[in-house]
Amino acid sequence: MKEKIWLSTPTMHGEEMDFVREAYETNWMSTVGENINEVEKLVCEKVGCKYAVGLSAGTAALHMAVKLAGVKPGDKVFCSDMTFAATVNPVVYEGGVPVFIDTEYDTWNMDPAALEKAFEIYPDVKLVVYAHLYGTPAKIDEITKICKKHGAMIIEDAAESLGASYKGKQTGDFGNFNAISFNGNKIITGSSGGMLLTDCKESADKARKWSTQSRENAPWYQHEEIGYNYRMSNVIAGVVRGQFPHLEEHIAKKKEIYMRYKEGFEGLPVSMNPYDEKNSEPNFWLSCMIIDEEALHIVTPEKIRLALETENIESRPIWKPMHMQPVYSGNDYIMVNGDNVGEDIFKRGLCLPSDVKMTAEQQKEVISIIKGLF
Ligand SMILES: *Cc1c(COP(=O)(O)O)cnc(C)c1O
């Protein structure tokens, strides 16, 4: 069977091993060490935030963010609807109740109009959690303005968007408490890992303490708060440290992939996952296509997915919206004019192979298979 073409896999460069070996040889094989300190510094410099706390996963970072925002049992929280479940699950860890906000067509992220409507229905909500799906910045100004007006805090889930910018500023630097991820399929990886980003020193210190079992400053194990074992490993941090200098190179490759799809699909009744070309620069983490409604009778995303699978090529449906997930069937979902944009994009869209190592030849094959179906 010919070599598999993947959706998105880790791309290593060699320096990762040097930092991992250094950790090994100096015996900093735990959750403290030079690699963690360096990676936290690198992220602050890149994103522009004041503090970064290295954690075991992006999900852990989101959990710490939700705790820092002070979510209490029963509190409603407005959340992106079309996203990965890890954006919203941490709200539930703290007993909060996600209310899902519909998606807009311009960037496939939280719809500001639906958010505004949600505040009319639930004026007391004090927290909004939104993601930059597939590395495309959301309508940040509009969302921020609405949150300010209603006195709500913001958690930005930048797990998929490290390196993406909006009006010249990096994603992960717009909310009160923000999260990035170094999961294996992200734009750069540590094999796992994540970080909490904030400009508030007190909050960063709290997250550091909570993530290391909430030990108080005493010779014995003294605890005044509930703790977690969420700190990043110095070995993982070594991998991230070696990846970091290659972030821009990965983004450039991903952008090339996106542009080749865009060009390759010209003339077909499809378009690519869109972005605000004037105000934002995505990291192009995943390229996605969406089929025109009128062409769905010719070919569906599932038909394309299966045709690619036959040729050992991986693709994936659009992240299934949270309001369609059985586990969240009891949660409220706010949309404008009954539009249900999320469900529509889910029905018509598909995530395409976007691996940094995919060759132009391989991508040509993907495009030609898809073209052949229309
Ligand atoms: C990957 C991802 C996360 C979770 O990050 P992990 O490091 O895998 O825990 C959260 N939100 C989104 C949108 C993601 O894509």
Q: Which residues pair with 215 in a beta bridge?
A: 223
Measure 165 CA to ligand 1 centroid, in angstroms: 18
Ligand 1 pocket check for 157: Cβ under 6 Å: yes
- Mutation probe of ligand 1 site: the residue of 8, 157, 197, 232 with most atoms within 8 A of C-beta: 157
Q: Please classify residue 309 by burial: count the beta carbons closer than 10 Å to its beta carbon, then call 0-12 exposed, 13-18 middle and 19+ buried.
A: exposed
Residue 74 pLDDT? 98
β strands within the chain, DSSP E: 51-55, 76-80, 97-101, 127-131, 153-157, 165-166, 169-170, 177-181, 194-198, 270-272, 280-281, 288-291, 316-317, 333-334, 349-351
Residue 179: how many CA atoms within 13 Å on its side-chain side? 32
Atom 7 in ligand 1: residue holding the nearest Cα: 58
Atom of ligand 1 nearest to the CA of 132: 13
Which pLDDT band, with edges at 50, 70 and 90, does 358 fall under?
very high
pLDDT (mean) for 39-68: 98
pLDDT digits (tens, 9 = 90+) for 67-114: 999 999 999 999 999 999 999 999 999 999 999 999 999 999 999 999
* Residue of the CA atom closest to atom 5 of ligand 1: 58
Strand order in the sheet with 280-281: 169-170, 165-166, 280-281
Residue 140 Cβ inside 6 Å of ligand 1? The answer reads no
The residues pairing with 129 across neighbouring beta strands, listed in sequence order, are: 79, 155
What average pLDDT score do residues 112-119 get? 98
| Ligand 1 centroid, distance to 200 Cα (angstroms) | 23
- Which ligand 1 atom is the nearest neighbour of the CA of 83? 13
151 contact partners, CB below 8 Å, separation of at least 6: 126
Q: Is the CB of 355 under 6 A from ligand 1?
A: no
User: CA 255 to CA 354: how far, in whole Å?
Assistant: 9
Residue 314 one-letter amino acid: E
Closest C-alpha to 317, from 300, 297, 295, 294:
300
For residue 65, give every residue at least 6 positions away whose Cβ sits within 8 Å of its Cβ, in sequence order, or none. 90, 129, 155, 177, 178, 179, 196
Indicate if the pLDDT at residue 225 is higher than 80.
yes
- pLDDT, averaged across the chain: 98
66-79 pLDDT tens trace:
999 999 999 999 99
Q: What is the mean pLDDT of residues 112-128?
A: 98
Q: What's the CA gap between 115 and 333, in Å, rounded?
A: 10
Please tell me the predicted confidence (pLDDT) of residue 2.
81
How many angstroms does the Cα of residue 180 sit away from the middle of ligand 1? Answer: 8
Give all domains of the chain, ordered by start, each with its CATH number.
15-245 (3.40.640.10), 247-373 (3.90.1150.10)
- Residue 265 vs residues 60, 269, 332: alpha-carbon distances, Å: 39, 8, 37
